[in-house]
Amino acid sequence: MEKVKIGLLGYGVVGSSVYRLLTKERVRILEGTGVDLEVTRIAEMDTTKHGADAPASLFTTDGSAVVEDPSIDVVVELFGGVDAAFELISCALRNGKNVVTANKQLLANRGAALFELAREKGRQIRFEASVGGAIPIIKVMRESMFAAELHTVYGIVNGTTNYILTAMLRGEGDYAATLARAQELGYAEADPTADVNGADAAAKMAILASIAFHSRVTLQDVTFEGIASIQPEDIAYARDLGFVIKLVGSARLLDEQVNVRVAPTLVPAGHPLAGINGSYNAVLLVGHAIDEIMLSGPGAGGLQTSTAVISDIVSIVSTKTTGFMQNCSCYRALPLLAEEEMRSAFFIRVRVEDRPGVLAQLASIFGERDVSIESLIQKGHGDQAELVLITHPSPEKDFRAALEAIAGLSSVRSRPMTIRVLG
């Protein structure tokens, strides 16, 4: 029997779930692996949590006491944040410890330096819980999909926004009302900014793109938009046109250039991602060798996320050597493809004067920039009309130029609302 001692950094929802699940499954893990996993130190700043589910003697308020403890073999970082977590993990690696982290912001901002340090020290960094909660997407992409020639990764990777958009689709309220409900149910934080503005999903997509294309993508390389501007009428029009609206992360490899972004997106009703509802997450992988593979499941929650953390711990203790598959797989440095060069189709909703010639005027502006219209809905509102259009794919720089010209017309009564269409 091998004994492995674990130090936890953070005892919040996920940290406490990791402790409880490890304690509950300790015998089963020992029987299956021959390794006895024991949490021996816990760093937690909130002293009210000391001794709540674990013996008070395990707790400290000093993270350094955990990462510098010579008896600890594996450090599990669940503090969150970037700078302090970076210093603690760096110290753990320098002290010869393997690391498990769920910290997407850290990896998306400063992951390269940590992976390089792990390589130098012959240690592992595992991070399954950083992206999809209980979904084992990191392991699948790094190991099973290595030869799949991935060129596209689509992700619904934020449970808060997916819950809100699902509730709006079901007619349970507008954005503000459904966000408040999500907070009541624990699907959204008291400060939900990083979720609803797309930053959380952007960090996750940076990690997924780095693994998929073996080229480092940071959070600064990802453009992102949130869902606060989505109105119930957008969702209703999308449904009438055969779509649902989701916050979709997209990582594309086109002509050996990488583009990664997160934005509200119209997803065709028959697409696999369209049926991912509530707080569930999903990642769709597309490759030349595999066609399409999708993984879905709970994207958040202490118990669900803790299963990914413990899986990483078991992977570490079951792997006696380190190397490519255990740390960073970024061996290329691919250029980024500028947003304006991407080809996209768009949903547009705009209010105009209800008089002859206005639609022709808009169509002429689009036509001058080689943006063609695929479908159109027009509804009258007194002396105004609401136009809803879907375009065929075109270079985004041409579409944006046409949109600016349309917004400047005297017949246009509102700023055009635009949402990308998947594909």
Q: Residue 107, Cα to own-chain centre: how many angstroms?
A: 12
Structure tokens at 131: 């992206």
> d(Cα 42, Cα 14) in Å, to the nearest integer?
13
Identity of residue 197: N
Structure tokens at 168: 């709006």
Q: Which of 193, 196, 206 is nearest to 261 (CA)?
A: 206
> d(Cα 366, Cα 169) in Å, to the nearest integer?
30
Q: Which of 222, 210, 199, 245 is nearest to 347 (CA)?
A: 245
Place of tokens 């390089």: 116
Q: Which of 204, 246, 379, 397 is catalytic?
A: 204
> d(Cα 205, Cα 276) in Å, to the nearest integer?
17
Q: What is the DSSP string of 267-309?
A: EETTSGGGG--TTEEEEEEEETTTEEEEEEEE---HHHHHHHH
| 24 in catalytic set | no
Place of tokens 């793109």: 209
Q: For residue 83, how many other CB atoms are within 10 A of its CB?
A: 10
74: helix, coil or strand? strand
Contacts of 124 (CB under 8 A, 6+ apart): 98, 99, 118, 316, 319, 322, 326, 327
Please enumerate, as own/partner, the contacts of 398-403 that have beta carbons within 8 Å and a separation of 24 or more. 398/369, 398/370, 398/371, 399/344, 399/346, 399/369, 399/371, 400/340, 401/369, 402/365, 402/366, 402/368, 402/369, 402/371, 403/348
Instruction: Give the active site residues.
Output: 204
